[in-house]
Amino acid sequence: MNCRHCCKPLQHTFLDLGFAPPSNSYLNESELCAPEVYFPLKLKVCDHCWLVQTEDYAQADLFFSKDYAYFSSTSTSWLEHAAAYSKDMITRLALGSNSFVIEVASNDGYLLKNFVAANIPCLGIEPTASTAAAAEKLGIPVVREFFGETLGRRLTEEGRQADLIAGNNVFAHVPDINDFTLGLKAALKPGGTITLEFPHLKQLIEHIQFDTVYHEHFSYLSLYTVKGIFAAAGLRICDVEELPTHGGSLRIFGCHMDDRREDSANVERVLADELRFGLQDLDVYRGFQQRADEVKNGLVSFLIEQKREGKQVVAYGAAAKGNTLLNYAGIKPDLLSYVCDAAPSKQGKYLPGSHIPIFSPQKLAQTQPDTVLILPWNIAKEVLEQNRALQESGTTFVVAIPQIRSLT
């Protein structure tokens, strides 16, 4: 296999999680006895451009189907994050009724609804019908296609170049990252701004966040690598912010290469931090497998011990990261009775691979489990606040990443 960005041969394995079903392919009861499709879940690192990427991938529409179950608005903390971003961008870029905002992977309208409320014209790009329909109900126009250079050029031909192109947690999800970036270049007005948010590879390695690896994530990104991808498309990163979201993310600000804005000192600072950490050194990548295995083994040991003591352990959050962890660890309903999730689109279904049933959060109050394993550890604080009464009645809440620990 060659690198998806620079086309150099890939010779180094970063992480091997065996085989797993697509993490968002939740099952109906009627599907439990049917065969499931599994794909290898292995990451390679390119020692030329340092792009970390899945070894192989199927067609994107296999992972992002019409009944895609992830709705961004389910998380209140994510809605707050989107609202704060929108307010900041409107002020920072002086956006108004004569501006035009595009969000790529606009999901259910969780972000663009803020621009609609501010009377700023906008457009969502969203290939999944279920989430696109939810956005359209909020008055957001949506193009139901995958984004790339062809669509970017078409938008330009239609006179719909953007003052702001936003992309939250989509850059890592595209199989052809070069084509996607050329699409950003094509759809951006002269003087316009691109913002992309994505989990930071440095945080993944430092905090052993291997559960963020799944098939919909084709790339695992550093600022160094994204800077090179942008430059190849005629774009420049002029600023970067470090965010706490998703266990530690970067928000980059991109512009045309000939834009008059000067680069912020933040760019060199983060690049230097990545270099010191070793993101351009193979030794950092070679030692990661053992660290991931230790986390997996710790979780399995904990669940077995709880079962031996006659305690019930359940999970909260039918998240993709949880499916990666559970499938790699081989955990089934005998060790984890059920999982609760606030998204109605997931309730009544079963997790892929493990076949653990999904219920609404009300199930927790009904069963009073001994322990709740929060699978989406990035929203653990939100989950704790929502279940404070359960915790006060004696239920213990734990996370497994970067090691099993109780939360207070």
Do the Cβ atoms of 198 and 217 come closer than 8 Å?
Answer: no
Query: Residue 236 falls within a domain, yes or no?
Result: no
Query: Residue 384 falls within a domain, yes or no?
Result: yes
SS3 138: coil
Condensed to tens digits (0 to 9), the pLDDT of residues 253-285 reads 999 999 999 999 999 999 999 999 999 999 999
- Nearest of 193, 185, 165 to residue 232 by alpha carbon: 185
Query: Residue 177 falls within a domain, yes or no?
Result: no
Q: Which residues contact 349 (CB under 8 A, 6 or more apart)?
A: 26, 27, 28, 69, 318, 357, 358
Residue 396: CATH number of its domain: 3.40.50.720
Query: Residue 354 falls within a domain, yes or no?
Result: yes
| Alpha carbons 342 and 363: distance in angstroms, whole number | 11
Do the Cβ atoms of 132 and 110 come closer than 8 Å?
Answer: no
| Alpha carbons 44 and 1: distance in angstroms, whole number | 9
Average pLDDT for runs of 10 along the chain of length 408: 96 96 92 92 97 75 52 80 97 98 96 97 94 94 97 97 97 95 98 98 97 93 98 98 93 98 98 98 96 98 98 96 96 98 94 98 96 95 94 96 94
Beta-carbon count within 10 A of 362 CB: 10
Query: Residue 269 falls within a domain, yes or no?
Result: no
| The predicted structure's pLDDT at residue 69 | 47
Task: Annotate 257-324 with DSSP letters as a single string.
Answer: TT-SPPPPHHHHHHHHHHHHHTTTSHHHHHTHHHHHHHHHHHHHHHHHHHHHTT--EEEE---HHHHH
67 CB-contact burial (10 Å; exposed 0-12 / middle 13-18 / buried 19+):
exposed
Q: Which residues contact 132 (CB under 8 A, 6 or more apart)?
A: 106, 124, 126, 142, 144
| Alpha carbons 6 and 51: distance in angstroms, whole number | 9
Q: Which domain holds residue 326?
A: 288-407
Condensed to tens digits (0 to 9), the pLDDT of residues 350-365 reads 999 999 999 999 999 9
pTM (2 decimals)?
0.90
333 CB-contact burial (10 Å; exposed 0-12 / middle 13-18 / buried 19+):
middle
Interior CA angle at 403 toward 399 and 408, to 5°? 45
Query: Residue 79 falls within a domain, yes or no?
Result: no
What are 225's strand-pairing partners? Answer: none
Query: Residue 314 falls within a domain, yes or no?
Result: yes
CB burial of 236-272 (b: ≥16 within 10 Å; e: otherwise) equals bbbbbebbebbbbbbbbbbbbeebeeeeeebbeebbe
Condensed to tens digits (0 to 9), the pLDDT of residues 121-163 reads 999 999 989 899 999 999 999 999 999 999 999 999 999 999 9
Domain count within the chain: 1
Fill in the amino acid letter for 245.
Answer: T
Query: Residue 101 falls within a domain, yes or no?
Result: no
The β-bridge relationship of strands 52-54 and 39-45 is: antiparallel
